[in-house]
Amino acid sequence: MTTDQIAAATTVHMPALGESIEEGTITRWLKAPGDRVEAEEPLLEVATDKVDTEIPAPVGGVLDQILVEEDSVVAVGTALATIATDSGAASPSPALPAPPPPHLPATAPEPPPRSPTPDPAPEVNSPPPPATPDPAQPVAAVSGATAEKLPRIRRTIAQRMVESLQISAQLTSVLEVDVTAIAALRAQHKNEFLARTGVKLSFLPFFAKAAVEALATHRMLNASLNPEITEVTYFNHVHLGMAVDSDKGLMVPVIRDAHTLTIAGLAQAIADKADKVRTATITPDELGGGTFTLTNTGSRGALFDTPIINQPQTGILGTGAVVERLVPSRRDGNLTINVRSMAYLSVSYDHRIVDGADAARYLTAVKHKLENGFNAHDLI
């Protein structure tokens, strides 16, 4: 935190919030002038186009002045507030007294004389005119609904989703996969895995590992197309974005060099990023630079989804809920029906650079890895 010591007061400045972030929005002050604040105690909340974060007080003392109001957009380095330190700075200026009420006469003035009225009978029988809503009145006040200001992170998500659909031609392909072997592997090793790594063994790191490995031979889904649509960049590394649901909204932290990680490494990285998002400790630098994204829509019970691409990427894989179903199969001419653990995989892709056949081949590669490619050795 950058601070300037001036006499017995400390000026709080907008800190650097990430490598490419130059400004932020003051969303909420957590303290008011006159409030006591301890060093490193959260003082205000700031939102950027990537993350919401809390700014701590650099020193202990009394909040003297707030220099920037809520909803203001300010640049990095801007003075936000002053804190009177314990060495004796002046406390906040007292509020000005309210002006006295105007003098009221002792008796109310005589009302103006009433004009003659028609016979009261027609007035009694006539229904009152229907009430018409005031066009200037908010919809919520008229209909009884509740209007709430949209949080900045929700506005950012909305803007990015619309922009993504406007920028690229998006299409989704869906495939079904049998993960019965992985379910058995998890059941056999989950307790040992938790004791060794400190994280639970879910289906997600298996999906992530299969998705990342398949990108090595399907480069068009681990790529970026320039705005002029004249050049494509194929990445030799996989920086895997993981969509994480939180109370404040959807965020996509990035696991760097995911192609170098084992199942255990991916499980730990996924848990770490998710925890940072949900505890509001994720940094803006951890939310950028992804080359491909995985979204686990099945974590809330969805069978499959049609996810929207995280620009400027060319693909995003959605994993549906794993459910047990009766599945028929035929071997040597004999039809059998067994209970299998099944899931849907859906990949949304940029049709400007990825064809439907490319997407189908990628999903087939992921399916093959999930159905045949894992054993106990992969959990080490």
Q: Render pLDDT for 53-79 as a digit per residue (tens, 0 to 9).
A: 888 999 999 999 999 998 889 999 999
35 and 166 inside one domain: no
Mean pLDDT across 349-360: 97
Query: Among the options 49, 351, 368, 378, which is catalytic?
Result: 351
Q: Specify whether 245 is located in the same domain as 328.
A: yes
Q: Is 257 a catalytic residue?
A: no
Quote the pLDDT of residue 168.
Answer: 94
Is there a single domain that holds both residue 159 and residue 68? no
Q: Is 260 in contact with 250 (CB distance < 8 Å)? A: no
Pairing of strands 52-56, 79-85: unpaired
For the segment 316-338, the average pLDDT, to the nearest whole number, is 94
Give yes or no: residues 223 and 351 share one domain: yes
Q: Does the pTM exceed 0.75?
A: no
CB 238 within 8 A of CB 212: yes
| Cα dihedral 216/219/221/222 (nearest 10) | 70
Displacement of CA 380 from its chain's centroid (Å)? 32
- Count of alpha carbons within 13 Å of 350, Cβ hemisphere only? 26
Over 90: is that where the pLDDT of 336 sits?
A: yes
Q: Which residues contact 137 (CB under 8 A, 6 or more apart)?
A: none
Query: Which residues constitute the domain of residue 250?
Result: 153-379
**Same domain for 318 and 175:** yes
Catalytic residue among 355, 358, 368, 377: 355
For residue 134, is it within any domain? Answer: no
What band does 109 get if pLDDT is binned at 50, 70 and 90? very low
Band (140; pLDDT cuts 50, 70, 90): low
pLDDT at position 97: 43
Q: Answer whether residue 116 is part of any domain.
A: no
pLDDT tens digits for range 202-234: 999 999 999 999 999 999 999 999 999 999 999
Quick one: pLDDT band at residue 45, thresholds 50, 70, 90?
A: confident
The answer to whether residue 355 is catalytic is: yes
**Do 164 and 19 have their domain in common?**
no
Residue 114 lies in a domain: no
End-to-end CA distance of the chain: 41
Q: Are residues 74 and 157 in the same domain?
A: no
More confident residue, 188 or 45: 188
Number of domains in the chain: 2
Amino acid symbol at 228: E
Where does residue 103 rank: exposed (0-12), middle (13-18), buried (19+ CB within 10 A)?
exposed
Pairing of strands 240-242, 292-295: parallel
For 187, the 3-state DSSP assignment is: helix
Quickly count: other Cβ atoms within 10 Å of residue 251's Cβ.
Answer: 25
